[in-house]
Amino acid sequence: MKNAILLISVLIFALALGFFQEKIKIGVNYLIEHGSAISGYDGMSSSERQMVIEQRRIHAPFDYYHNHATMGWLFRFNLHELVLMKWVITALSLALFAGLNVLLLSIVQSEYSLTRAVLWTYAVLSSIAFSIYAFGILVDVRDEAYAFSRKILGALQSIIPSMIIWPAIGLWNSTRKKN
């Protein structure tokens, strides 16, 4: 019973963390995209930035990107700081979700190979994502490379790795025992 409560608590925390980090990143991306189109954006005060951005916001009730107000404290940052914040949030989210995936798997099955599998999964897929992005910059397909690497990193910023690793290791172990 104790493990079930802990498991549910970790799942709720992971869900809340995912929504929170996504809300911040959507706000940051929105400000980067729209702020870069405004002449003198970095020289404005935070209240001027907010006023100008909100005046440009389109009414799109079914579009999550445009429909939700940006967190007010994000207007304090210039464009360079927002880009830096986006990468810091990504790195922190990757680390937090790697830890949450290790914790989840240790709750359902305490086996060292699961922890090792999570850490290797994060290391390999993060390296692939960053390599794709770097290669995209080199060959001038930055936007396409970013979109693809973003999908990889997005999956890692969730509990999806646990949902794949747990049954995969179980299948691996069952096939090894048969041979």
pLDDT at 61 over 90: no
Is 80 exceeded by the pLDDT of residue 170? no
Burial class (CB in 10 A: 0-12, 13-18, 19+), 1: exposed
Whether residue 100 contacts residue 108, with contact meaning beta carbons closer than 8 Å, is answered with: no
Q: Find out whether 66 and 60 touch, Cβ atoms under 8 Å.
A: yes
Owner of token pair 């973003």? 150
Whole-model pTM? 0.83
Percent of the chain with pLDDT over 70: 92
Q: Please, which pLDDT band fits residue 66 given cuts at 50, 70 and 90?
A: low
Mean pLDDT over 139-167 rounds to 93
Question: pLDDT for 6-60, tens place per residue?
Answer: 989 999 999 999 999 998 998 999 999 999 999 999 999 999 999 998 888 777 6
Half-sphere exposure for 36 (CA within 13 Å, toward CB): 10
Q: 3-class SS at 27?
A: helix
Hey, where are the domains in the chain? 2-178
Question: CA-CA distance, 53 to 87, in Å (whole number)?
Answer: 22
Is the pLDDT at 107 greater than 80? The verdict is yes
Query: CA-to-CA distance for 20 and 5, rounded, in angstroms?
Result: 22
Inform me whether the pLDDT recorded for 62 exceeds 80: no
pLDDT at residue 98 in the model: 96
Widest pairwise Cα distance in the chain: 68
